[in-house]
Amino acid sequence: MLPTLSTKVLLGLLEKALAIRRFEEMLVKLAGKIDVGHFHVYVGQEITGVAALDLLETGDLCFTTHRNHGHLLARGADPALMLAEILGKSTGYCGGRGGTLHLASTELGFPTTSSAVGGCTPLATGAAFGMDRLGSDRVSVCLFGDGALEEGSYHESINIAALEKLPVIFLCENNSLEALGQKAGEYPSSTLAAERLTDLVDPFGVPAITIDGCDGKAVRDGMTEAIDRARSGEGPTFIEACTVRWPGNRPLWPALVTGETNLSMAWDETVIPEKFREWHATQDGVLRFVREMIDEGHATPETVIALDELVQDQMRTAENFALESPYPEPETALDLVFAKSGSVP
């Protein structure tokens, strides 16, 4: 379902969801032409990121993972600066030092991005510890996949968060549902003895909910409650947002196996290709959001296509900017190991 919001706000969310989808498609296509290296895309999870992170305010902090592109775009990142960073250009968000694995922007509330699975959980918990001790009403959001629950850092962190009632939201994006990859002998997905991910939350006494990550209303409602709880000093919340893995994520290297998204699939089932029919028809959150927007009278196919064209224009501009941007001067590799202020001369 759609969140209960005005048409204008819903269109804003849709624009961000489309930006994520088109950004990732642009990146996958670009990787077919030039060497971009290994990266992870957020296709299929857009509605989770957009609906959840839209609720954050200035000063709230997000700690994400290797699959971070969608999270930054959901917080309003400039796709040009993102792609520049991913291509290692000096104009990127981190001046080319972080790349796809460490996209970060303090301005957007992403102080550091850990690509070590389970790396972000202690950091997000600690940021909440800091907020709590400083007496602020900011919240910390820990974004991670189901795989991070296999790491000890998660268990140590949620224990601390629960004991101290810290303002942290553990937003676990379980994108392994029906993960065919492992069955096919490819990259293994979630490997946990627990039957349900929330079984790993219950012993800590932290409220946990499992929601459909493609259901904008469910994500927004769950996140609203979690943020309220955090801001009012009631402690952490665990949200498991389930999505079905995009077939293009099945191989170790992302591929546009479903082709570029044709938005008319949202309102015309006959154009959905037979291959991966189920994913497009029922599991693609962006198409579902579009369908619901049209069904409930917030948009027409024409307005959606116009919005999508606007987004695709932005992506072309971003691509040109990133490709034309210079690489950093080699000798600057020695800079910024330490912050200048403080004791290091």
Which positions touch another protein (CB under 8 A)? 61, 63, 92-98, 102, 104-106, 111-112, 114, 116, 118-119, 121-131, 133-134, 138, 140, 152-153, 155-157, 159-160, 163, 335-339, 341-345
Rounded to whole angstroms, how far apart are CA atoms 133 and 197?
Answer: 30
Which CB atom, from 105 or from 237, has the smaller least distance to another protein?
105
Burial track 229-259 (b if 16+ CB lie within 10 A, e otherwise): bbbeeebbbbbbbbbbbbbbbbeeebebebe
Cβ count within 10 A of residue 306: 12
Rounded to whole angstroms, how far apart are CA atoms 50 and 62?
Answer: 13
Which CB atom, from 58 or from 341, has the smaller least distance to another protein?
341
Which CB atom, from 32 or from 342, has the smaller least distance to another protein?
342
Q: Which long-range contacts (CB under 8 A, 24 or more apart) does 154-160 make?
A: 154/118, 154/121, 154/200, 155/200, 156/121, 156/122, 157/121, 157/122, 157/124, 157/125, 158/121, 158/125, 158/201, 158/204, 158/206, 158/236, 158/238, 159/204, 160/125, 160/129
Return the structure tokens found at 89.
């250009």
Which CB atom, from 34 or from 134, has the smaller least distance to another protein?
134
Distances (CA, A) of 243 to 188, 207, 214, 308: 17, 20, 7, 23
Angle between helices 152-164 and 120-133 (to 10 degrees): 20
CB of 155 vs another protein, minimal distance in Å: 8
Return the structure tokens found at 111.
């102080």
Which CB atom, from 97 or from 217, has the smaller least distance to another protein?
97
CB of 90 vs another protein, minimal distance in Å: 9
DSSP-based three-state secondary structure for 240: strand
CB of 313 vs another protein, minimal distance in Å: 28
Which CB atom, from 155 or from 217, has the smaller least distance to another protein?
155
Which CB atom, from 134 or from 193, has the smaller least distance to another protein?
134
Query: Do you know the residue count of the chain?
Result: 345
Distances (CA, A) of 77 to 80, 225, 287, 314: 9, 25, 22, 12
CB of 188 vs another protein, minimal distance in Å: 21
Which CB atom, from 149 or from 266, has the smaller least distance to another protein?
149
Return the structure tokens found at 36.
């971009």
Which CB atom, from 99 or from 247, has the smaller least distance to another protein?
99
CB of 250 vs another protein, minimal distance in Å: 28
CB of 64 vs another protein, minimal distance in Å: 13
Rounded to whole angstroms, how far apart are CA atoms 173 and 140?
Answer: 16
CB of 68 vs another protein, minimal distance in Å: 13
CB of 324 vs another protein, minimal distance in Å: 20
CB of 88 vs another protein, minimal distance in Å: 12
